[in-house]
A and B are shown apart, each in its own frame.
Chain A
Amino acid sequence: GAVVSQHPSRVICKSGTSVKIECRSLDFQATTMFWYRQFPKKSLMLMATSNEGSKATYEQGVEKDKFLINHASLTLSTLTVTSAHPEDSSFYICSARGLTEQYFGPGTRLTVT
């Protein structure tokens, strides 16, 4: 089946620094990718929809200047958490839409100290 990878799987950074998370569709091209955030024991919360070659569409309440999304190619989208704070610590999951289904990545655990 289709595979979506994320890198890194976990990252620890200091407050005020920026962190970039990569999402790749390994065996298919994805014109649309999604970024989710998940808090402990909660379901996934959509942050933004990323379309290749255009600006991302952010959900209400998500700061676009803080969570920078780039979808420069059909197989790669990146999420950059800028000026990270401890409250940004969370599990970030990307998803890529194939022809008929949406496939999820394994997630990235971000811890901001």
Chain B
Amino acid sequence: KNQVEQSPQSLIILEGKNCTLQCNYTVSPFSNLRWYKQDTGRGPVSLTIMTFSENTKSNGRYTATLDADTKQSSLHITASQLSDSASYICVVSLIQGAQKLVFGQGTRLTINP
């Protein structure tokens, strides 16, 4: 069964601190893995997208890693800001005729001043 599991479910950290969010997947055949940020009441916004051959990709203070062998990905946020408070969703794309997205349940991140 194609699944994407994220941990932790929620996380609270102080402003300025770093954090790492985890994503494990059992999706096959794998096309790419994406991390999205979703603010409350808004649609998801893409942070990074990685294909099978990419190990890491950065977007400002966000750095995503991918280990295709262990089927794990992480999203590292550096020097967190209050505006980083949001849900972060790991999404794996599989090739199944037409491309299909499998969503993780998200990690709710709260940055406290």
Contacts and interface: CB of A to CB of B under 8 A. Distances in A.
Contacts of B41: 91, 107, 109
A97 B89 CA distance: 18
A95 B93 CA distance: 14
Given A107-B41, A107-B43, A41 B98 contact: no
Q: B interface, by DSSP: helix, strand, loop or mixed? A: strand
A71 B98 CA distance: 17
Interface string A45-75: 0100100000000000000000000000000
A102 B41 CA distance: 19
Nearest to B89: A43
A46 B106 CA distance: 15
B106 A43 contact: yes
Interface residues of A, number: 21
B43 A49 contact: no
Interface string B92-104: 0000001101011
Contacts of A44: 44, 89, 103
B105 A43 contact: yes
Interface string A2-45: 00101000000000000000000000000010000000011110
B103 A43 contact: yes
A82 to B, nearest CB: 23
A49 B49 contact: no
Interface string B38-81: 00011111100100000000000000000000000000000000
Nearest to A45: B103
Given A42-B105, A43-B103, A43-B106, A106 B43 contact: yes
Contact of A102 (B101, B105, B106, B108): B101
Q: Top 5 closest A-B pairs, CB basis?
A: A104-B43, A43-B103, A106-B43, A107-B43, A104-B44
